[in-house]
Amino acid sequence: MTNSSTSDDITSTMRTTRSRNSFVVHVHVHVPPEPEDTEDPILENNVPTYEIVASRSQPRVYGKLCIEVKPADSDTVEKWPIEAFVDEDGDFTDETVCKWVNDWNDKARKAPFAPRKCLFCNRKAKLGVTLCGHCENAGWRDIVYG
Ligand SMILES: [Zn+2]
């Protein structure tokens, strides 16, 4: 320790004292209220961190159908395969995607002979359904038509 800053210390002490006497400093600390999303914890866990980009036709990447998605933390639209929206129990995790799949199933049923591709690969879909035989055998039919 040196004594080189002694005068500064005194000055700052005086300043502090004066300001303490002349006005009261209100410190507003804004504490955000605790989120009370406890009524439906299951729903809370599923809060999407992305946004489905609605479009008339979904793109295919290497022949594979993809859903366009905008992650919450970026402005870049990404293309996710349908599998990305199916959880380990075989349930759709996204209402929009689920709705689209139902629409596609419906169209396939109504126009069974219209050429269409499988939802999960580049193969031709079977008549009246949205899946090829291969993906159907792989268990996707229960999910897509669940
Ligand atoms: Zn397929």
CA of residue 126 to ligand 1 center, whole Å = 9
In a domain, 7, yes or no: yes
CA of residue 117 to ligand 1 center, whole Å = 8
Phi, psi values for residue 69, rounded to 5°: -135, 140
CA of residue 15 to ligand 1 center, whole Å = 77
Please say whether the dihedral angle defined by the alpha carbons of residues 63, 90, 138 and 128, taken in this order, is positive or negative: negative
In a domain, 132, yes or no: yes
CA of residue 47 to ligand 1 center, whole Å = 30
Task: At 138, list the tokens.
Answer: 């792989």
Same domain, yes or no, for 24 and 71?
no
Q: pTM, whole model, 2 decimals? A: 0.65
Same domain, yes or no, for 28 and 54?
no
Q: How many CB atoms lie within 10 A of CB 120?
A: 22
Same domain, yes or no, for 66 and 133?
yes
Same domain, yes or no, for 96 and 66?
yes
Same domain, yes or no, for 67 and 6?
no
Same domain, yes or no, for 76 and 114?
yes
* Confidence (pLDDT) at 121: 96
CA of residue 85 to ligand 1 center, whole Å = 16
Same domain, yes or no, for 56 and 8?
no
In a domain, 41, yes or no: no
In a domain, 135, yes or no: yes
CA of residue 131 to ligand 1 center, whole Å = 5
In a domain, 93, yes or no: yes
* Confidence (pLDDT) at 54: 79
> Domain total for the chain?
2
Same domain, yes or no, for 90 and 23?
no
Same domain, yes or no, for 61 and 123?
yes
In a domain, 45, yes or no: no
CA distance 139 to 133: 10
CA of residue 29 to ligand 1 center, whole Å = 57
CA of residue 3 to ligand 1 center, whole Å = 82
Residues in the chain predicted with pLDDT less than 50, given as ranges, are: 16-17, 19, 21
CA of residue 14 to ligand 1 center, whole Å = 80
CA of residue 86 to ligand 1 center, whole Å = 16
CA of residue 83 to ligand 1 center, whole Å = 12
What is the extent of the structural domain holding 113?
A: 50-145
Q: Is 107 helix (H, G, I), strand (E, B) or coil?
A: helix
